[in-house]
Amino acid sequence: MTAQVLQEACIQCGLCPSICPAVFTLPGNGGSARAVEGEIPLEQQIAAQEAAQSCPVSAIVIR
Protein backbone atom coordinates (compact mmCIF):
# COMPACT_ATOMS: atom_id res chain seq x y z
CA MET A 1 0.00 0.00 0.00
CA THR A 2 1.22 3.49 -0.86
CA ALA A 3 -0.22 6.95 -0.20
CA GLN A 4 -0.04 10.10 -2.26
CA VAL A 5 -1.32 13.59 -1.52
CA LEU A 6 -2.70 15.49 -4.48
CA GLN A 7 -0.81 18.71 -3.88
CA GLU A 8 -3.21 20.92 -5.83
CA ALA A 9 -6.23 19.64 -3.88
CA CYS A 10 -4.86 19.76 -0.32
CA ILE A 11 -6.19 22.69 1.72
CA GLN A 12 -3.62 22.11 4.49
CA CYS A 13 -6.24 21.44 7.14
CA GLY A 14 -3.84 19.37 9.23
CA LEU A 15 -6.14 16.37 9.65
CA CYS A 16 -4.03 13.68 8.01
CA PRO A 17 -0.86 14.30 10.03
CA SER A 18 -2.96 14.40 13.20
CA ILE A 19 -4.53 11.00 12.37
CA CYS A 20 -1.43 9.30 10.96
CA PRO A 21 1.74 11.29 11.65
CA ALA A 22 3.99 8.37 10.69
CA VAL A 23 2.82 8.67 7.08
CA PHE A 24 1.64 12.26 6.58
CA THR A 25 3.42 15.51 7.34
CA LEU A 26 2.46 19.11 6.86
CA PRO A 27 5.44 21.38 6.25
CA GLY A 28 5.58 24.48 8.42
CA ASN A 29 5.97 26.78 5.44
CA GLY A 30 2.34 26.69 4.35
CA GLY A 31 2.85 23.95 1.77
CA SER A 32 0.57 21.01 1.10
CA ALA A 33 0.71 17.79 3.09
CA ARG A 34 3.11 15.07 2.01
CA ALA A 35 2.98 11.31 2.32
CA VAL A 36 6.00 9.13 2.87
CA GLU A 37 7.43 7.59 -0.25
CA GLY A 38 7.13 3.90 -0.86
CA GLU A 39 5.32 1.14 0.93
CA ILE A 40 3.40 2.06 4.09
CA PRO A 41 4.35 -0.20 7.01
CA LEU A 42 1.65 -2.71 7.87
CA GLU A 43 1.07 -1.22 11.32
CA GLN A 44 0.33 2.19 9.78
CA GLN A 45 -2.03 1.08 7.03
CA ILE A 46 -5.31 1.33 8.94
CA ALA A 47 -4.47 4.82 10.19
CA ALA A 48 -3.38 5.88 6.70
CA GLN A 49 -6.68 4.70 5.25
CA GLU A 50 -8.58 6.49 8.00
CA ALA A 51 -6.69 9.68 7.19
CA ALA A 52 -7.54 9.31 3.52
CA GLN A 53 -11.22 8.79 4.29
CA SER A 54 -11.21 11.78 6.64
CA CYS A 55 -9.62 14.23 4.21
CA PRO A 56 -12.29 16.89 3.57
CA VAL A 57 -11.26 17.37 -0.05
CA SER A 58 -10.34 13.75 -0.90
CA ALA A 59 -6.77 14.74 -1.64
CA ILE A 60 -5.24 11.46 -0.45
CA VAL A 61 -4.91 8.61 -2.89
CA ILE A 62 -4.25 5.17 -1.41
CA ARG A 63 -3.10 2.43 -3.74
31 binds ligand SF4 (CB under 6 A): no
CA-CA distances (angstroms) from residue 59 to 1, 12, 24, 43?
Answer: 16, 10, 12, 22
Applying CB under 6 A, among 3, 23, 33, 40 the residue interacting with ligand SF4 is 33
Q: Which of residues 38-57 bind ligand SF4 (CB under 6 A)?
A: 55-57
| Sequence letter at residue 47 | A
DSSP designation for 61? E
> Hey, how many other C-beta atoms are within 10 angstroms of the C-beta on 61?
14
Q: Whole-number minimum distance, CB 28 to ligand SF4, in Å?
A: 13
**Residues of the shown chain interacting with ligand SF4 in the complex, contacts defined by CB under 6 A:** 5, 10-16, 26, 33, 55-57, 59-60
